[in-house]
Amino acid sequence: MEPVIKIRNKIFALAYRNIFKPVAFAIDPEKVHDWATLVGRFLGSNPITRAFTRLMFDYSHPSLEQEVLGIHFKNPIGLSAGFDKNAQLTALMPCVGFAYEEVGSITGEPCEGNPKPRLWRHKDLKSIRVYYGLLNDGCEKIAARLQKARFTSPVGISIAKTNNPETCETDAGIEDYVKAFKAFAHIGAYTTVNISCPNAYGGQPFTDAKKLKALLQELDKIPTKKPVFLKLSPDLSEGELNEILDISRAHRIDGFVCTNLTKKHHFGDGGLSGKAVEALANAQIRTVYQKMKGKTVIIGCGGIFSAEDAYAKLKAGASLLQLITGMIYEGPQLISEINQGLVELMKKEGVSSVSEIKRT
């Protein structure tokens, strides 16, 4: 079966590179994102198209399965927050081969996002510059949507602060996070508190130690059985990162998503994804793993385009991974390619499960 899947993936990679990508990359990126969401909703809407998608893209192997924080993951690769902002693709993503997906980021109030254009490709950097500004339907509407959904794989909920002047004051910002956190306290497998959106009105106030403490104190009071992650910026100084880790130890934080988009560029508005963030993300994963002495869960994210890229993040200390940009540049068969490649890399290293991979 392995050689058949390899050939299947090669055919899709060729078709994507030579037919789909040249057309898609000639069109406005946000339009392509909207169309991809529409097609994805259709493919996820009935058992026949779901089974077809599974046949085209899925891949499973026992050595990729793991239990993290009591949640079963069939492989380490998840869809990162920002692709399925309004949680409309939860039925399809498991068929594309993702073990899990993180929907959102979702805010307390509905949010129209920043004025267009707000998404650009930087092909030379294999990156996307994102200035969406937390466009989403808001927590009430999305929670109602997800309450009706039946999940076949874990769904993480990314929450953020509504992007408007009204939430700029610390107390109002916390209230907004609390509203979204409460709305999803019993929906999905885990919650990620996104404190690192590079495009939020008023900056990233909750990377400040005092404000983060105040936010986490309030979130701690909300009953939930779900693990809670904090999503970090790759641009944090060592001092800022140390403070965030110290504060997290005293609160209900089970792990970290490393990382969000980087603002370290000179192209104008927005943050960069993909290869522009990879080295920063890998360095942060390694630091968090060492500083937390391996006693936290790290979801590694940023610039994963191949099995080797994924393996580097696992070796740095991540247990789970996420991606978006790699899929956009390489095609949806990438998830299966990475997972099949990971099985081979683990075999070469002589380990039989993801948790046995030796950290470096």
Ligand X SMILES: Cc1cc2nc3c(=O)[nH]c(=O)nc-3n(C[C@H](O)[C@H](O)[C@H](O)COP(=O)(O)O)c2cc1C
- Select 308 or 349, whichever has its Cβ closest to ligand X: 308
- Should residue 260 be labelled a site residue for ligand X when binding is judged by CB under 6 A? yes
Sheet holding 271-272, edge to edge: 119-122, 127-130, 271-272
Task: Name the minimum Å distance from CB 45 to ligand X.
Answer: 23
Segment interacting with ligand X, rule: CB under 6 A, options 75-83, 140-148, 285-293, 335-343: 75-83
Place of tokens 């990233």: 204
Nearest to 219 by CA among 294, 160, 142, 144: 160
- If one asks whether residue 255 binds ligand X (CB under 6 A), the answer comes out as no
The one among 9, 53, 75, 80 contacting ligand X by CB under 6 A: 80
Q: Is 312 in the site for ligand X (CB under 6 A)?
A: no
Number of residues interacting with ligand X: please give it, by CB under 6 A.
27
In the bound state with ligand X, the residue whose beta carbon lies nearer, of 53 and 194, is 194
Query: Does the CA dihedral 166-167-169-175 come out positive or negative?
Result: positive
Binding ligand X (rule: CB under 6 A), the pick from 97, 326, 331, 332 is 326
Residue 358 to residue 303: CA distance in whole angstroms: 21
Candidate ranges 17-25, 241-249, 312-320, 322-330; the one touching ligand X (CB under 6 A): 322-330
Q: Does 81 bind ligand X (CB under 6 A)?
A: yes
Window 132-161: contact mask with ligand X (x via CB under 6 A): x-x-----------------------x---
What is the length of the chain? 360
Q: Considering only residues 43, 236, 307, 324, which one is a binding residue for ligand X as defined by CB under 6 A?
A: 324
User: What string marks each residue from 173 to 192 as x (binds ligand X by CB under 6 A) or -?
Assistant: --------------------
CA separation for the pair 244, 65 (Å, rounded): 30
Q: Could you list the residues that contact ligand X (CB under 6 A)? A: 80-82, 104-105, 119, 128, 130, 132, 134, 158, 194, 197, 231, 260-261, 273-274, 277, 301-304, 323-326
